[in-house]
């Protein structure tokens, strides 16, 4: 694996290849969720490029930028054990110029759910992803379904700007007890880690009732809330069902393939998760 920190060097190296390039952008602190994206790219593409960049622009002032886990040595060792071809670790200045003025935004999707809870978050996400895509120019982009709204927004950007990139949304990877893997899980105390498991079991319960024929949004969201570990219902940020195609909120009855999306605090740690509600 070649480690490159300079964007021009990476662009030049990749431009001369006619082989298919798969790209996985990450913020590091790699876990099996990231590795599953990387392994899929290695299977499907001739060249796999991973980036590690903790993007300050996607953190709000009150968020955890300073304490966000960074473990470059560990990450490099993990990636070396896979057949990753290039690891891109840019500095802030490699990505952003001092005086950039152009922002990419989405009319509707920036204002709801994660966009509402984390003002400026998706501006930062698109700012970095757009730049990384231009530097790497991949054929395939691998993103996790855990960040379902981010996946949708990036898909929209790629379509709207006619970028010739195929987006592969990859399944959520979970711990044995069902908790979706996240770099932020390491903030949880042992007690909180136990409580957090109920997010998955509560999602599972809503999913079960959906499979049994329940289509009322209010019922399914209540089932989620009622099955959380006691106390966690007080720290819910949102529990929402949206149409999987356009992320339009379902308010009443589910009539199309949908997603049940949740965000809540366990202690000081904000966790997100979701489950697909597929009609057929």
For binding to ligand AMP (CB under 6 A), which residues are involved?
Answer: 26-27, 33-34, 36-37, 143-144, 146-147, 170, 172-173, 180-183
The 21-26 sheet, strands edge to edge:
2-4, 86-88, 47-52, 21-26, 140-144, 166-170
Q: Which helix (H) or strand (E) holds 236?
A: strand 236-243
Quickly tell me which residue has 């997010």 as its tokens: 199
Residue 171: phi and psi, rounded to 5, are: -55, 155
Can you name the residues that pair with 269 across neighbouring β-strands? 266
Residues annotated catalytic, as ranges: 34
Quickly tell me which residue has 């966790």 as its tokens: 271
Q: Which residues of 142-154 are buried (b: 16+ CB within 10 A; e: fewer)?
A: bbbbbbbbbbbbb
Q: In terms of CB distance, is 37 or 232 closer to ligand AMP? A: 37
Minimum distance from residue 180 beta carbon to ligand AMP (Å): 5
Closest to 51 in 3D by CA, of 34, 39, 63: 34
Q: In terms of CB distance, is 149 or 198 closer to ligand AMP? A: 149
Q: In terms of CB distance, is 254 or 275 closer to ligand AMP? A: 275
Q: In terms of CB distance, is 112 or 148 closer to ligand AMP? A: 148
Q: In terms of CB distance, is 170 or 275 closer to ligand AMP? A: 170
Minimum distance from residue 61 beta carbon to ligand AMP (Å): 19
Minimum distance from residue 79 beta carbon to ligand AMP (Å): 13
Minimum distance from residue 39 beta carbon to ligand AMP (Å): 11
Quickly tell me which residue has 């980036």 as its tokens: 51
Number of H helices, E strands in the chain: 9, 9
Minimum distance from residue 29 beta carbon to ligand AMP (Å): 7
């Amino acid at each position: 694996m070649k480690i490159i920190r300079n964007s021009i060097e990476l662009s030049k190296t990749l431009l001369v290849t006619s082989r298919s390039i798969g790209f996985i952008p990450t913020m590091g602190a790699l876990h099996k969720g990231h590795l599953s994206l990387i392994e899929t790219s290695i299977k499907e593409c001739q060249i796999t490029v991973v980036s590690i960049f903790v993007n300050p622009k996607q953190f709000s002032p009150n968020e955890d930028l300073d304490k966000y886990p960074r473990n470059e040595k560990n990450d490099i060792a993990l990636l070396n054990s896979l057949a990753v071809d290039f690891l891109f670790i840019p500095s802030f200045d490699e990505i952003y110029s001092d005086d950039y003025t152009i922002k990419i935004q989405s009319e509707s999707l920036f204002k709801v759910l994660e966009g509402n809870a984390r003002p400026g978050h998706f501006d930062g996400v698109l700012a970095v992803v757009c730049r990384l895509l231009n530097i790497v120019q991949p054929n395939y982009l691998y993103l996790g379904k855990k960040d379902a709204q981010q996946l949708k927004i990036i898909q929209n950007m790629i379509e709207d700007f006619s970028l010739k990139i195929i987006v592969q949304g990859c399944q959520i990877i979970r711990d044995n007890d069902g908790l979706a893997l996240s770099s932020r899980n390491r903030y949880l105390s042992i007690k909180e880690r136990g409580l957090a498991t109920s997010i998955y079991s509560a999602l599972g319960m809503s999913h079960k009732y959906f499979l049994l024929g329940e289509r009322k949004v209010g019922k399914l969201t209540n089932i989620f809330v009622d099955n959380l570990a006691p106390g966690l219902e007080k720290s819910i940020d949102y529990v929402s069902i949206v149409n999987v195609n356009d992320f339009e909120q379902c308010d009443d009855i589910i009539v199309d393939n949908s997603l049940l999306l949740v965000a809540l605090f366990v202690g000081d740690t904000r966790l997100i998760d979701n489950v697909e509600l597929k009609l057929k």
